[in-house]
């Protein structure tokens, strides 16, 4: 089992990797660092919120759980 610090570090590095990747993809399409950074920020925020809502939704469904 991972420590809380390790989980936070993994989450942060994953988010950074995603941000850099999204910025590079945005740059390929827009040829603008400002636009591609905006796209990456919007994607990061939207992805975080979507994942949170997804998890809340699934936490209310008991299907597929064992030992409840």
* Residue 68: predicted pLDDT: 58
Which tokens in the block code for residue 64? 């597929």
* Residue 66: predicted pLDDT: 86
Q: Please state the domain count of the chain.
A: 1
The answer to whether residue 64 is domain-embedded is no
Interhelix angle for 33-59 vs 4-30, to 10°?
130
* Residue 1: predicted pLDDT: 78
* Residue 67: predicted pLDDT: 75
* Residue 65: predicted pLDDT: 86
Q: Which residues form the domain of 17?
A: 4-59
- pTM, two decimal places: 0.74
The answer to whether residue 47 is domain-embedded is yes
Tell me the per-residue pLDDT of 6-58, one tens digit each, with 9 for 90 and over: 988 998 899 999 999 999 999 999 999 999 999 999 999 999 999 999 999 99
The answer to whether residue 53 is domain-embedded is yes
């Amino acid at each position: 089992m991972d420590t809380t610090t390790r989980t936070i570090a993994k989450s942060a590095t994953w988010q950074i990797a995603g941000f850099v990747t999204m910025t590079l993809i945005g740059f390929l399409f827009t040829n603008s660092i400002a636009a591609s950074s905006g796209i990456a920020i919007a994607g990061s925020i939207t992805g975080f919120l979507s994942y949170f809502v997804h998890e809340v939704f699934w936490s209310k469904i008991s299907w597929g759980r064992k030992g409840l």
